[in-house]
Amino acid sequence: MNNKPNRRDFIKLAGLIPASAMAPHALQRLSSRTSLQDGEQNVLILVFDAWSAYHVSTYGYQRETTPNLARLVDQAVVYHNHYAGGNFTTPGTASLLTGTLPWTHRAFQPNGTVIEPYVTRNIFSVFKNHYRIAYTHNPWANTLLEQFSGGMDELVPWLSLFLESYDEIIHTLFKDDDDIASVSWTRNTSINEEGFAYSLFLSHLYETLREQNIASIRKDYPRGIPAIGRAETNFILDQAVNWIGDRLTKIPQPFMGYFHFLPPHGPYRTSLEFINVFGNDGYKPITKPEDVFTQKFSQAELNNKRTEYDEFILYADNEFGMMFEQLKTSGLLENTWVVLTSDHGEMFERGIDGHSVDAMYEPVIRIPLMIFEPGRTTREDIHTPTSAIDILPTMLHVTGQEIPAWAEGKVIAPYADSSADVNRGVYTVRSNKTEQLAPLERVSITLTRGKYKIHYYAGYEERNVFEMVKLYDVEADPEELVDLVDIERDVAGTLLNELKTKLDEVNRPYL
Ligand SMILES: [Zn+2]
């Protein structure tokens, strides 16, 4: 997790980089704010990390975790069977951003990177005519954003929307150069209209810290101020949301924005108003048999964690509601496609907690996807399986741009020119110990086609899982309780054959 912004980032952020050092594209855009031409719509991708579709009331979860979303989806296309590219941040995010599966982009490992061709083959590189801006709270996602930053106009440094980061950044980056530090301080704390660069968020942060100290924020978060893991690098979602909402009204249009927020990723620290909302609601999750990949958590422990996670979703949902209102008020919604999704899910069943897990059950790989299209006033529900890799081609298509040959996803319904391919198979791939250029041998893969989903596991010797296959009818049995592998033998055989043929094909160049 050593992804602190480097000095150059900070100088860039402080608006101190000489004009000649900036990308020509950025310069050109800075010089004039043009109004939108026909077909030049904005795209805004919002990712809430580790957000399982299983836990979203709009998808049928019994707890009302997403009241804001429930109110807003009447104007959205809602995808019910949308799958992540992987089951944790690195492969999931890389698939979303490159429009390719993990065995193609090769970002398999925690905090891994994509192979060279995808440094310039991603959602930023293809939206050439858009002003491209990105931010994430998640350091592993940030590793990928830094890799792709050559194709961006603006990568907001990840620590810049954290609470206590300001002094830390100044101190770390400028400890040998006090003069520049004082210059940047002055420049960044004076907001002016044409101050285009990063001055605004630093001012915002400065104001926040001046007006409310951390101690006073603490009482609003009884489980702790939201943070990245145990590092206690704190953030408050509404600050990030407010800053971004404001920034979007100031950057040139059309823009393509990618914003990846940490909640509801653990630690689950919801705000005061959502504490114990579900604590005594009587909801009893279904008890499922312990899996071969169990981490030995008891059902009671899992139920407690689930409750805290669900209460953290309320916080994320509330912030999404506020961001949506902000976009509406600013008028941006009229010409902006808003894509709401996640990088992977989370699970609390079968003795397993979270998403650092080799199992590939629905809660950890099925994620929300909702597309808010400019001007749409009705809801449409799509049940055909879709994948994170479809977002890149679909957003290019709806904004009238060409889809590159290397993109592996599809333009999805209702935006595809032809009707959706009901026979399409969607893969999710985990191979978290595989070196970037090695064949996948220790692997978890699912293939979902229509109502069937096959799980394939290989190479987990420590669990005596040399090769294991499961088959579920996820339409009739969404909880994956009845393994059909020995009942629907033909289906299992066909899907397994297809999956293994594909695995051989993707492994060939690396053997
Ligand atoms: Zn994640």
pLDDT digits (tens, 9 = 90+) for 194-229: 333 444 445 455 556 655 667 778 899 999 989 887
pLDDT at 460: 98
- Region 318-335: what's the mean pLDDT? 96
pLDDT tens digits for range 386-410: 999 999 999 999 999 999 999 999 9
pLDDT at 9 over 50: no
Quote the ligand 1 centre to 152 CA distance (angstroms): 22
How far, in Å, CA of 349 to CA of 130, rounded?
43
Facing residues of 467 across strands?
A: 458
Predicted local confidence at residue 12, as pLDDT: 40
Task: For residue 64, report the distance from its CA to the centre of ligand 1, in Å.
Answer: 23
51-352+379-438 and 439-511 have identical folds:
no
- 346 CA to middle of ligand 1, Å? 9
Name the most confidently modeled range: 34-43, 164-173, 277-286: 277-286
Q: How far apart are CA 220 and CA 226, in angstroms?
A: 11
More confident: 61 or 159:
61
214 touches 260 (CB < 8 A):
no
What's the 86 CA to ligand 1 centre distance in angstroms?
Answer: 10
Between the CA of 343 and the centroid of ligand 1 the distance, in Å, is 5
Q: Which residues contact 290 (CB under 8 A, 6 or more apart)?
A: 350, 351
User: Which of the two residues, 453 and 156, has the higher pLDDT score?
Assistant: 453
> What is the per-residue pLDDT across 498-511, written as a single tens digit (0 to 9) for each?
999 999 999 999 99
Angle (deg, nearest 10), helices 199-211 and 165-174: 130
Q: Higher model confidence: residue 165 or residue 298?
A: 298
Cβ neighbours of 183 (radius 10 Å):
14
CA of 106 to the centre of ligand 1 (A): 17
Mean predicted confidence (pLDDT) in 346-361: 97
Q: How far is the CA of 129 from the centre of ligand 1 (A)?
A: 29
Q: 439-511 domain in CATH 3.30.1120.10?
A: yes
Q: What is the pLDDT of residue 19?
A: 33
For residue 375, how far is its CA from the centre of ligand 1 (angstroms)?
Answer: 31
Instruction: State pLDDT tens for residues 79-119.
Output: 999 999 999 999 999 999 999 999 999 999 999 999 999 99
What's the first-to-final CA gap in the chain, in angstroms? 31
What's the whole-number average pLDDT of the chain? 86
Distance 227 CA to ligand 1 centre (A): 14
Quick check: 341 pLDDT over 50? yes
Mean pLDDT of 122-150: 96
Task: Give the closest residue to 362 by CA, choosing from 82, 159, 73, 43.
Answer: 82
| Cα-to-centroid distance, 264 and ligand 1 (Å) | 9
Does 432 score more than 90 pLDDT?
yes
Distance 266 CA to ligand 1 centre (A): 10
Higher pLDDT, 496 or 205: 496
Asked if pLDDT for residue 173 goes beyond 50, the answer is no
Structure tokens at 302: 């899992």
pLDDT by residue (tens digit) across 58-85?
999 999 999 999 999 999 999 999 999 9
Return the beta strands (E) in 72-228 as ranges. Answer: 76-79, 82-83, 131-136, 154-155, 227-228
pTM for the full model?
0.87
Q: So what's the pLDDT on residue 459? A: 98
Mean pLDDT value of segment 446-473: 97
Integer Rg of the chain from CA: 23
Confidence bin at 161 (pLDDT 50/70/90): confident
Could you tell me what percent of the chain has a pLDDT over 90? 75
The residue-averaged pLDDT of 473-486 equals: 98
Residue 452 in tokens: 């069937």
pLDDT for position 158: 81
Q: What is the pLDDT of residue 28?
A: 37
Query: Class of 51-352+379-438 per CATH?
Result: alpha beta
Q: Provide the residues around ligand 1 (an ion) whose CB is within 5 A.
A: 49-50, 89, 343
Q: Give the mean model confidence (pLDDT) for residues 324-342.
A: 97
CA distances from 240 to 19, 141, 200, 262 (A): 27, 16, 12, 11
Structural domain spans, the chain: 51-352+379-438, 439-511
